[in-house]
Structure 1
Amino acid sequence: MVRVVNIDHLSVRVSNFAKSKDFYGKLFAFLGFDVLDEYEGAIGWTNGKTRYWIGQADKKGTTSKHRIGDVGFHHYAFELRSRKDVDKLQRFLKEELKAKIVDPTAEYYDDYYAVFFLDPDGLKLEGMKFGEKKTAQKKKRKTG
């Protein structure tokens, strides 16, 4: 049987390559990613496990903006190390990137802490941490 072992990369088209390259370049530097490779009209970043690419949309593709709720991409979530990192990401988004935060840091589900924000084209992104409280409870029971 053939099995998927990983999701290698995500590639999104952007309306203004220079503007998106600046946005993602700052975001990914903050998140610990390095440039993987760059070609004319495309660039990718990696942290050694995850790869994220952007590329210039064609002329027809730039005539309408992405709308959350359309068929297709809903959001992409970056799993962070801790809730504190989610808080740090939100501060960075507000203070450095001036990104639009659509859902601020909160516990959206049991033990699921996240912040949701938009890239320059309105693509929804998320920084999240799941399971931190349960992990702490297990450690407490083992040492208690």
Structure 2
Amino acid sequence: MPLFDHLGITVDDLARGITQFDPVMQALGFTRVDAENSVSWQRDDETELILFPAREADTGRHRHGHIGWQHLAFALDSQTEVDRLHAIAVDAGWTVVREPKLYPRFNDRYYASFVEDDSGIRIEFMHNPPRKNAGG
């Protein structure tokens, strides 16, 4: 059983949210399921990400650093995959917050990029391989 069952995210414009999230989620191996007034992406019948439209129009973008959502990190198998997902997101209209690069402040293996959608929702693509054993 997964630790997180699902994550629901509210966006300003559902149609635009689908345009931005769908290529990324499909590239991550999720299957899209449309519902009335929402859309979700599911993987392995265990994990689900759901987009909902805002209940009130023009409530403003999410503001990174304020109380609430900060970002969601997707762990990937390689730096190449980080670069690939970053490019897919940018092509889908996400704004680059930080280009793919190493983050030695986390550790010498941590490679990541950060992007933000039109609603201010931030995601990270990251690769953090285990430290190699000194003895083997």
1:14 aligns with 2:8: no
Name the CA distance, whole Å, in 1 between partners of 2:135 and 2:96.
37
Q: Report the Cα offset of residue 59 of structure 1.
A: 1.4
Match of 1:113 in 2: 111
2:81 counterpart SS class: helix
Do the aligned residues in 1 keep the contact of 2:111 with 2:127 (CA within 8 Å)?
Answer: yes
Instruction: State the Cα distance separating 1:112 from its structure 2 match.
Output: 1.4
- Give the gaps of 5 or more residues in structure 1: none
The one-character-per-residue Cα deviations of 1:3-37 (angstroms, maximum 9, x if unpaired) are x95111110111101110121111111222112x3
Distance in 2 between residues matched to 1:12 and 1:64, nearest whole Å: 14
Moved over 4 A (4+): none
TM-score by length of 1: 0.82
TM-score of the pair, normalised by structure 2: 0.86
Whole-Å separation in 1 of the counterparts to 2:84 and 2:35: 31
Cα distance in 2, alignment partners of residues 122 and 107 from structure 1: 24
- Return the letter of the residue paired with 2:92: L
1:83 aligns with 2:79: yes
Larger Rg: 1
Q: Indicate the SS of the match to 2:123.
A: strand
Q: How does 1:44-55 map to 2 (within 5 A)?
A: 44-48=40-44, 49-55=46-52
Give me the CA root mean square deviation.
Answer: 2.0
Q: 1:1-144 counterparts in 2 under 5 A?
A: 6-35=3-32, 37-48=33-44, 49-59=46-56, 62-94=58-90, 96-108=91-103, 109-110=106-107, 111-132=109-130, 134=131, 137-138=132-133, 141-142=135-136
String of CA shifts for 1:120-143, please: whole Å, max 9, x gaps: 2111101111125x2xx33x953x
Greater helix proportion: 1
Q: How many residues align?
A: 132
Paired-residue identity, %:
27
